[in-house]
Amino acid sequence: MGEVARPMFLRPIRSLWPLSLAALAPLASPQGKVEVVDASGGTPGAHLDIQPAVDAASSGHTVLVKAGGYGGFVVDAKSLVVTADAGAAVTIGPVGGGPIEIRNLTAVQTVVLYGISSTRDLRTEHGLHVHDNQGSVWIEKCTFGVDAVGGLGTLPTVELRQNARVSLIGVEAIGYAGEAFPNGDLHPATPAAIASFSTLVFADCTFTGGVGYDGILHPTLGPLDGEDAAAAVVLVDSFLVLDGGEYRAVPGGDGLPFPCTDGGDAAPGLLVSTAQCQVYDRGATLFGSLGGKGILGCSADGATAGGLFLALGAFYIMLPGDGGTMTSDSPRRVGQNVKLDFEGTPGSSVIFGIGLAPQYLYLGQFSGVIQTLPIAILSAGALDPATGTLSISLGVGPLVPPDLADTLYVQPVFINALAQVTLGAPTAVTVLDASL
């Protein structure tokens, strides 16, 4: 059996991060001058709100925010650390809060945002808007929620647009749930995040889409179906590394009982909307959802959504996760067969491909499964419900060119009862065609 070196994209995911925690660690503590912000007025010389402190700070300085509620702020074309004080609960909004905006960084500028929660005010505003940056943005342990008070806008809670390097670490965001009012106002659901034309890392983040509103009898439009949900994350023409975290699909709104209307469609946890996207996934959990409920015997349920929707031609690679795998002596040659022994969560299914090149591709017909291409053999089975093991023996056809040793790469994919997908570690076996 041959030992295969990991391709570059199978090496530890943090080597792919546009930013490294080690490089940014010095920025996470106060550097140079510190501008203190204290809404209570209890700190002599401190600013009462964040924006005046940001304006007063020079590039490379730190804005240290004491506990309290504050208005939104804009960081424009300067290196800055904006961080909550140790143990402090710092919130932006909701009413009059405005968004947090980071924009126009040059290639040598960096912004770090740490420990701040933002609840956007109107739906015509973002909770977080990061755009037009050539420099690096690092956002850690921040929460972006929704407490809308009106407006007909359809902006996502978080928007990341035209950025060279953005890393979100331990960030949580939720999309706006749609609302339908008796006076006819319709407030549509919005995604938790839309990212476009950017290079991104999301590590240990949780994003949840916006639930659609229930069907209503509209005063001018008549009976309306339940609204379709909004995806947790929408990706457009971007490079994204996922390292852990959860991306949650949500249902559409339920149908109207009388007169009967259909339920709204669910939306995926991650919607990769264009062929120009590349996604590398190491251990993220992408949750699907049922659609909104129709009325039994009268109308239809909304369509179900998987955890992932991938546009035709987009590039999606699942990197080895922490789930099931092949045993240490698998695969191995046994006569004219290749023997594979799998172990993982009891009752899980495993789908795997065997090929001559370590390439991985999303195949929609297998509900998001990644398999080795080009395919020489494709098979599937179920792990024993008691032991979590499975043994399979497969014949190996002639290899090209003949009389030469060649290496077959095997990639298992494990699917549990909740339809969560985990990629097992890739492995390889060397065979000699002449021996067949």
Residue 84 lies in a domain: yes
* Residue 253 CB-density burial (10 A; 0-12 exposed, 13-18 middle, 19+ buried): buried
Distances (CA, A) of 290 to 122, 267, 413: 29, 9, 23
Q: Are residues 214 and 339 in the same domain?
A: no
Q: Is the pLDDT of residue 9 over 80?
A: no
Residue 1 lies in a domain: no
Confidence of residue 215 (pLDDT cuts 50, 70, 90): confident
* For range 294-311, the mean pLDDT: 83
Q: Are 254 and 295 in contact (CB under 8 A)?
A: no
Domain harbouring 426, CATH code? 2.60.40.1940
Q: Are residues 306 and 356 in the same domain?
A: no
Residue 180 lies in a domain: yes
Please tell me which residue, 147 or 293, carries the higher pLDDT value.
293
* For range 59-78, the mean pLDDT: 94
Residue 233 in tokens: 């994350």
Confidence of residue 232 (pLDDT cuts 50, 70, 90): very high
* For range 405-412, the mean pLDDT: 57
Q: Which of 249, 283, 318 is where one domain is finished?
A: 318
Q: Are 277 and 315 in contact (CB under 8 A)?
A: yes
Confidence of residue 11 (pLDDT cuts 50, 70, 90): very low
Residue 3 lies in a domain: no
Please tell me which residue, 111 or 308, carries the higher pLDDT value.
111
Q: Are 46 and 34 in contact (CB under 8 A)?
A: no
Distances (CA, A) of 247 to 174, 268, 287: 10, 8, 6
Number of domains in the chain: 2
Q: Are residues 169 and 24 in the same domain?
A: yes
Query: If you write DSSP's letter for every residue of 138-204 in order, what string do you get?
Result: EEES-EEEE---S------SEEEEEEEEEEEES-EEEPPPPEE-TTS-EE----SEEEEEEEEEEES
Q: Are residues 116 and 164 in the same domain?
A: yes
What was the pLDDT predicted at 361? 42
Q: Which of 282, 298, 318 is where one domain is finished?
A: 318
* For range 225-231, the mean pLDDT: 89
The upper half-sphere exposure of residue 241, i.e. CA atoms within 13 Å in the direction of its Cβ, equals 22
* For range 167-179, the mean pLDDT: 89
Biggest distance spanned by C-alpha atoms of the chain: 83
H/E stretch holding 374 reads strand 369-382
Residue 294, C-beta contacts closer than 8 angstroms, at least 6 positions apart = 254, 255, 260, 261, 262, 263, 300, 301, 302
Give just the sign of the alpha carbon dihedral 278, 280, 284, 288.
Answer: positive
Q: Are residues 123 and 215 in the same domain?
A: yes
Confidence of residue 285 (pLDDT cuts 50, 70, 90): confident
Please tell me which residue, 183 or 77, carries the higher pLDDT value.
77
Residue 235 lies in a domain: yes
Q: Are 65 and 92 in contact (CB under 8 A)?
A: no
Q: Where are the beta strands (DSSP E) in 22-149?
A: 34-37, 61-65, 68-70, 73-76, 80-84, 90-92, 100-103, 110-114, 116-120, 128-140, 143-146
Q: Are residues 395 and 423 in the same domain?
A: yes
Rounded to the nearest 5 percent, the helix, strand and coil shares of the chain are: 5, 45, 50
Q: Are residues 243 and 296 in the same domain?
A: yes
Q: Are residues 110 and 234 in the same domain?
A: yes
Residue 156 lies in a domain: yes
Give just the sign of the alpha carbon dihedral 337, 436, 332, 342.
Answer: negative
Q: Are residues 314 and 353 in the same domain?
A: no
pLDDT in tens, 310-334: 887 787 765 544 445 556 566 666 6
pLDDT in tens, 266-281: 898 999 999 889 887 7
Please tell me the least confidently modeled range out of 90-104, 312-326, 336-350, 360-374: 360-374
Report the predicted TM-score, pTM, of the whole model to 2 decimal places: 0.70
Q: What is the mean pLDDT of the chain?
A: 75
Residue 366 in tokens: 């297998």
What was the pLDDT predicted at 414? 61
Give the span between the Cα atoms of 282 and 24, in whole angstroms. 22
* For range 47-57, the mean pLDDT: 96
Residue 47 lies in a domain: yes
Please tell me the least confidently modeled range out of 36-40, 108-112, 263-267, 366-370: 366-370
Please tell me which residue, 302 or 163, carries the higher pLDDT value.
163
Confidence of residue 365 (pLDDT cuts 50, 70, 90): very low
Residue 360, C-beta contacts closer than 8 angstroms, at least 6 positions apart = 317, 318, 370, 371, 372, 373, 411, 423
Residue 2 lies in a domain: no
What was the pLDDT predicted at 218? 86
Q: Which of 264, 285, 318 is where one domain is finished?
A: 318
Q: Are residues 257 and 347 in the same domain?
A: no
Confidence of residue 389 (pLDDT cuts 50, 70, 90): confident
Q: Are residues 218 and 343 in the same domain?
A: no
Q: Is the pLDDT of residue 2 over 80?
A: no
DSSP state of 123: T
> Could you list the residue range(s) of the whole structural domain that residue 414 is in?
322-435
Q: Are residues 48 and 137 in the same domain?
A: yes
